[in-house]
Structure 1
């Protein structure tokens, strides 16, 4: 195979690898957009969860000072709380460490809400702090994942870069080797011999 053929094959292979990388990047961009939208929805659920926990506690304390049989406000907040809770649970991966910490903090709120007498400002503040810390760590973890990219994209990029680098090195080596092989051989120096004179 001569140099021109090797170069053409190499160029075709590199072009194919670049095309594959382009397709993966396009797909990765869409996945990142979906994941960012997912993070935004998760953030809304986290805010709604925390807001309704505090609203329920405030409603119970207010009702304690002004007894009333109207539970409509309390029921409405519990409904929104359940929606936010289910939205969080459905969006997180319970096997990952940041998600486990968040679900644990939510369990603290559930334990408090099971007994209205425990929904005191002090208990709420402690559980709220744990919930906020876990939420921040989870959102940071997911944001780093968006910046880093999906594992498929990361590995494809590494493979394409590695293979392209090896092919380029091979083609450079082949060109240098063929150039050296086709170079004219060095001319041997011309030697002049002198014969000694014969004596009469």
Structure 2
């Protein structure tokens, strides 16, 4: 089982939405939701019996809960601002996906996330999320690539909130839409990176 932690010490960058969408496109997968807001768990409730399974687990109990996971992929949706739990989860994960929106406040908070990943001696990649559809982010991508590889952009699309409201991923909601294409492209890139 491959374990992927979706991380950022900043809230509101789209960690939960990215987690949901990657878990669906990955195939047999489980989500561990450590965020007290439990967004992934709420989304999972709307899915009824459709995979992926979503477990709500306090951040300090992730290691114990791994025993219940019997799928090919495990995605951990982390809470913002909890450095100790982020370090613990990063140490367990095969890969940390550092999620950030392309804004100054998110960049200001990035140092704390990178420090936690370094403290965990974890492997990481970036996901630039919720980017404006017409934004040119070449300079940002080049700056981030100094630290860790940067995957394909995921832009702000109406399909993301619409699909979440129905307990679906964008690849289920509008399989031929731009949001679905971006999620699939990011997932393919992530798989290549892991191999």
More strand by share: 2
- Higher CA-based Rg: 1
More helix by share: 1
Higher relative contact order (Cα pairs below 8 Å, separated by 6+ residues): 1
Q: If the length of structure 1 is used for normalisation, what is the TM-score?
A: 0.25
Q: If the length of structure 2 is used for normalisation, what is the TM-score?
A: 0.25
